[in-house]
Amino acid sequence: MRASPTILHLDMDAFFAAVEQASKPSLRGKPVVVGGLGPRGVVSTASYEARRFGVHSAMPTAQARRLAPNAAYLGTRFGLYRAISEVVMELLHELSPLVEPLSLDEAFVDLEAGEALEGTQGGAEGAREVGERLRRDIAAATGLTGSVGLAGSKMLAKIASEQAKPDGLVLIPVGTERDMLAPLSVRTLPGVGPATAEVLRRAGITTVGEVVEAGEDELLRLLGKAHGTSVHAMAHGIDDRPVVAERDAKSVSVEDTYDVDLTDRTRVRLEVERLAGRCVTRLRAAGRSGRTVVIKVRSYDFSTLTRSETLRGPTDDPGVVKEAALRLLDGVDTTAGVRLLGVGVSGLADFTQEDLFAQAQAALSQETADTGHPEGAQSPARAEESPREGEGPVRAEEAAREPGAAVEEPGAAVPADRRWIPGRDVCHAEYGRGWVQGSGVGKVTVRFEEPDTPPGRVRTFSVDDPELAPAEPRMLDAEIAAVLAAQSPAPATRPKSRSGGVGASPPAGTSSP
């Protein structure tokens, strides 16, 4: 434990929903839900206005629609979220070289490792000054709000940021940890999930203070040696985990849940190929390769199985990963219906097996230059007829397809670029930029507005209108962010419960066209 509260935890407030509200003037101050929109979709983030109706992350979207039928339900725009996250993370790196990102909207910072405390009075007040300055800088750069927790350990800093939500700062002075923790629920402690909490509840232990009173021996009896020791230490506020700047990923994976169970074997194979392409795109973006390919198949009855195959060496070749995934799929019966498919790569490395082939090829080229023809080399014609094992001829349509691009289903009525998902950015030749409010029965409704304009007008078009096209999200610039920060005060209430409501908010997107 540290002598000063110099570990900072930042958690952006309702990040995905807040980005959508900042990008869409007509949604500011109204309930917004971001996530999967199909019958089996799941909420990624709900704005604070939507949370008042009981909507929360990880809730089925269908349930959220029943709780908040007038909220705006939007698909995700991860490219924009990632771009804004990079702006926030850069501000954190200005405070310290030790920044440990947990997700796009959450990170720990070790203030002692940097120069952020220089020029302050030091100690708790110096840390508070740094935290308040960070919140102002984030608002000025993005127009969004973040909550900051400061404490002498990572566990306590995260608890503090949760108490600070939304748009606040909580500092836990060193020496007050046990008094602060005592009345809190045992679920507050990291690693105490529903199962562990139920075991403790049956023993009459529901608060952190009661965990301390129970003593270590009782916790070891209830939870076992490893888990009991960990819970006992955390209940006393003891957490010596350091802030780690580099967190090495163990695997890269993608998965999709389908609105209707897949029963056609050809469609299942096409989906696995598409997921394998997306997985490799992510793998290459991370500058990694992997040697173990994994598929995940969840059936109609929620039963889930995984299959894996370890290759001879690490690779980032999309063809190799696709072939391995399809071989694994051949051993899985999917006739009853598939609800979810996933493809992943583990056993990550910083090089590929192809790098070794490249080195060998370089040596071979040198030998050819020296001798004219290397011993045992094939003629060009023979080489073309004998592809390497595990490889086949690349079809022209596959070579032209962008890695990770959606595969159009045979007979699909709507091309991929004409699937107008709510929230998607569009541009019209006559009316300019806007976003999709909804679509159906051959029509798409668009609200034409941008981050720095008043709430815009709504117009409806045919889904195949040639003048309407997808557009890239507009990144919020500093000037727009400053205006948004001035116009968006913190919510008056700080809802903590996931149930209940406080009355109806105006329906999203109801301004007159």
Please say whether the beta carbons of 458 and 445 come within 8 A.
yes
CA dihedral 201, 207, 213, 219 (to 10 degrees): 50
Q: The tokens 């019966």 sit on which residue?
A: 333
Q: The tokens 């390769």 sit on which residue?
A: 289
DSSP string, 262-317: E--HHHHHHHHHHHHHHHHHHHHHTT-EEEEEEEEEEETTS-EEEEEEEEEEEE--
Amino acid in position 445: T
Please say whether the beta carbons of 117 and 127 come within 8 A.
yes
Please say whether the beta carbons of 315 and 353 come within 8 A.
yes
Please say whether the beta carbons of 317 and 364 come within 8 A.
no
Three-state DSSP at 447 gives strand
Closest CA to 260 of 251, 252, 268, 272: 268
> Choosing from 106, 177, 271, 323, which is the catalytic residue?
106
Q: How far apart are CA 189 and CA 180, in angstroms?
A: 13
Q: Is 106 a catalytic residue?
A: yes
Please say whether the beta carbons of 294 and 343 come within 8 A.
yes
Containing 146, the helix (H) or strand (E) segment is strand 146-151
Long-range pairs for 102-108: beta carbons < 8 A, 24 or more residues apart: 104/15, 105/11, 105/12, 105/15, 105/16, 105/81, 105/146, 106/9, 106/10, 106/11, 106/12, 107/9, 107/10, 108/7, 108/8, 108/9, 108/154, 108/157, 108/158, 108/243
In this structure, what DSSP letter does residue 360 have? Answer: H
Closest CA to 264 of 276, 252, 256, 272: 272
Which whole-number Å values give the CA distances from 151 to 110, 111, 158, in the listed order?
A: 10, 11, 9
Please say whether the beta carbons of 289 and 347 come within 8 A.
no
Active-site amino acid positions:
106
